[in-house]
Structure 1
Amino acid sequence: MSAGYLANHMARLFFNALAERIKPLGLAPAQFMTLLELWAEDGLTQKDLVARLDVEQATMANTLARMERDGLVVRRPHVRDKRAQSIWLTEHARTLQGPATEAARSVNALALAELSDAERAQFLSSMNRTIAALRKAASA
């Protein structure tokens, strides 16, 4: 089997397991990955999120609209660029950080349980290098 096929298959399995665990929190996987970026750096623009998450502009716009509707984020005018808006977490979104990241950790632990510590480290390193190579190729 090819690396692309296996990566896609693994991603779907991670996605499904994560979706199941964060659903009781009222979150979907696309919202969770957006929240991860905002928990790390609140006040990003939609353009920042598109670049960091490697998603289409329209996909991010729809995700942010749902998140705003669900009381997870608010949009405010950007301080330096009047054409842009900054995306800010609500207090509700902040309260979800612990339970949501714990749900993700449990999926990771389940998925990597058969690997030794050294194998886990190598696996994550290889994944990061592969992602970097694909990003480099996409920007060339």
Structure 2
Amino acid sequence: MAGKAPQNIKLPFEQSVGYQARLTHRLIQRLLHQKIAPYGVTPGMWYFLRALWHKDGQTQRELSLLVGTMEPTTLSAIRTMEASGLVQRKRNDEDRRKINVFLTGRGRELENILMPLAKEVVDASVEDFSINERGLLLQYLKSIQNNILKHLDEDVHLG
């Protein structure tokens, strides 16, 4: 409002849901990186591998939407993964403008190695929680996501 003095609002880090969520995410990602790095996989590659393990042969655009990255970032990650022998790109037979991404044998084999490591990270993050508390945490996180989605201008879909 015009003429109204700005308020001096305080939001300590300990009380900021955004800061705490970011810090938690960064710590989980650091532990995950520690576990998967010996296999030549970076956290950036991890999310694309997970998406392809779930559904192989997705287009670059589908991967961007699912992982939540801009298409140039996705293309860069896919090129790195291709150079590492984890994926291969193939032009779509029905729509030559589209490129589908497929796991190689090595990319597929990593699922059985890396998913147990990811489960270790998840389990470590909630090791002193009861089963009920774990369920509540996931419910609360989903509620936060839904609350934020209601306030975003663009149409966003989360996996």
Coarse TM-score class (shorter-chain normalised): over 0.9
Q: Does the alignment pair 1:108 with 2:122?
A: yes
CA gap of 1:135–1:48, structure 2 versus 1, over 3 A, is farther
- 1:48 matched to 2:82: no
Instruction: Pick closer, same or farther for the CA change 1:22–1:113 going to 2, 3 Å.
Output: same
- Once residues 69 and 129 of structure 1 are traced to their aligned partners in structure 2, the CA distance between those partners, rounded to angstroms, is 39
Aligned counterpart, 2:107 = 93
**Shift of residue 135 of structure 1?**
4.3
Aligned CA-pair RMSD: 1.4
Q: Specify the SS of the correspondent of 2:144.
A: helix
Supply the AA of the counterpart residue of 1:81. D
Pairing 1:7–2:21 present = yes
Q: What's the CA shift for 1:134?
A: 3.5
Runs of 4+ in 1 over 3 A off after TM superposition: 132-136
TM-score normalised by the chain length of structure 1 = 0.94
TM-score by length of 2: 0.83
For residues 1-140 of structure 1, the aligned pairs below 5 Å read 1-135=15-149, 137-140=152-155
User: By how many angstroms is 1:21 displaced?
Assistant: 0.1
Residue-pair matches, total:
140
Instruction: From the two aligned structures, give the one with the greater helix fraction.
Output: 1
Give percent identity, aligned residues only.
Answer: 28
Taking structure 1 as reference, are residues 21 and 130 closer, same or farther at Cα in structure 2, changes over 3 Å only? same
Unaligned runs of 5+ in 1: none
Are the counterparts in 2 of residues 32 and 100 from structure 1 also a CA contact under 8 Å?
A: no
Shift of 1:81: 1.7
Greater Rg over alpha carbons, structure? 2
| 5+ long unaligned stretches in structure 2 | 1-14
Distance apart, 1:132 and its partner CA: 3.9
